[in-house]
Amino acid sequence: MALIFNGDGTYSMVYPEGTSPMIWLRPADRPKTDPTLSPPKSVLLDTLGYVDGECNDTTAAYVAADGRRVQVTFWMHHPPLVSCFTVHSPGVKPDAFPEMAKLLATDGDLALLRVPHLPLNPFSDQPDSRFFVYRIGGGAAGEKPPWLRQLPNPDKLMFTDHTVGFLNYGTHGQADDRFFAAAFYQEHPLRPGGSVKFYISLFDSETWGWTRKEVFVDSPEAYRYRFTNKAITIGGDRGSIAWVDLSNGILVHDLLLRNDILRYIPLPPSELPDLRTNSVRDMAVVNGYLKYVSMSIAGLVVVSVEYCGLVVAVYL
């Protein structure tokens, strides 16, 4: 792969012959939507966005200040078929995208997306990606129309995809489309003997801006937390978001309480000598419960732990 200067301050991606990123195009053998079926209430969704300009009732577009248009469309199928989403920018070829768009999180009818910044210019101060919030909608009478809005650039805030949590406040008895995005990160000491500091960068759609604050753990045991594997939305009256270290425990922050506390929930000890060996783990919220799954060569053990009103169902 190479970068070619276009002469107008932008660059194009050039790939060796036979290596063009065709995987970024929506598959030609994709399943067709059955018009006789009602829309699915839940879907299995591919988190990577293909490049395609075809539209349907879910299509929404955003026009930036520079006039560039970004279009997002969702293609829904009843499980076990996999649904997907596509992005399109008029005048931009698929091979101009440096990477695929990414679905970071969903909650209710809202989705948080990361889309590569176009046109590519590695010498610009612009961020590599832009963040969008998309609301699913349809063409039927009485349904909310879909929309797409770009979040402001989180200036000087660096975070990775798996550290961003998302809360749709409209799913908690509110009539509006207020939502929050929360990025968690740790600052490790430069000198021996120092303590780890924890920070949250919070976007609130009511103020339409990012704020950064230091947060504090409720237990010394929380310093066992090492690496964020994923962020999950718990919701509830507290509007809780959790960041998960699948080897140690989870950190829970209650957004709607507006405090600076992280509640730590340790995971039960594993019978395996090393969780990184022959083990696949994940955690999700299912019907109000946090469910942690670890698949390995060991036998099946079921453990449940209740902590601060939350029940963790564990399958080892």
pLDDT in tens, 130-166: 899 999 875 555 567 899 999 988 765 667 888 999 9
Contact between 225 and 236 under an 8 Å Cβ cutoff? The reply is no
pLDDT, residue 247, reads: 85
pLDDT, residue 309, reads: 53
Contact between 202 and 241 under an 8 Å Cβ cutoff? The reply is no
Burial class (CB in 10 A: 0-12, 13-18, 19+), 96: middle
Whole-number Å distance between alpha carbons of 215 and 73: 37
Q: Which residues in the chain land under pLDDT 70? A: 1-23, 28-29, 118-128, 138-143, 155-158, 171-176, 193, 270-278, 296-316
DSSP calls for 65-87: TTS-EEEEEEE---TTSEEEEEE
pLDDT, residue 19, reads: 46
Domain ranges for the chain? 1-150, 152-268
Measured between alpha carbons, how far apart are the two ends of the chain, in Å?
43
Whole-number Å distance between alpha carbons of 307 and 127: 40
pTM of the model: 0.79
